[in-house]
Amino acid sequence: MKLQKQSRVIMKDLVLTDPAIAHFSHLLETHPDDHGVLFQVLNKGCSGMKYDIVVGPIQKEWVPIHEGKKIYVHPDSIDVLKNVVVDLKQLPLDQSKVIFLNANAKNACGCGESFNLDE
């Protein structure tokens, strides 16, 4: 899959493309100043793990991953998010979808919502 524009490394082995950063920055414009975007992986879904994005009040345990932007990772998810690319896929009718590209993800469920890691 071709990535949108140039990717920007913001945490060791985690990449957000410029369109993804712009998407989340724009999203935060409609929220109070004390809110941020949190990326985390939950133990959910039929394959065991599921990506989760939360927009909410910034918590002290959240790990900042981009200087100048309110984008964070939950500390329990740092290892799972290594080598992951977060991109914004353009869809028909002026829609878009956040996608996670993870070379270590295996055994994805049929709907594509959950995955497991290659151990």
Enclosing domain of residue 78: 7-117
CATH code of the domain covering residue 95: 2.60.300.12
Residue 31: exposure state from Cβ atoms within 10 A (0-12, 13-18, ≥19)? middle
Q: What is the tens place of the pLDDT at every residue in 14-69?
A: 788 999 999 999 999 999 889 999 999 998 877 788 999 999 999 999 988 877 78
Domain contains 1 = no
Task: Name every residue whose Cβ is closer than 8 Å to that of residue 35 and which is 6 or more positions away in sequence.
Answer: 28, 55, 56, 57, 58, 70
Identify whether 89 is part of a domain. Answer: yes
Query: Is 2 within a domain?
Result: no
What is the domain count for the chain? 1
Secondary element (H or E) of residue 63: strand 63-64
pTM here is: 0.82
Residue 13 within any structural domain of the chain: yes
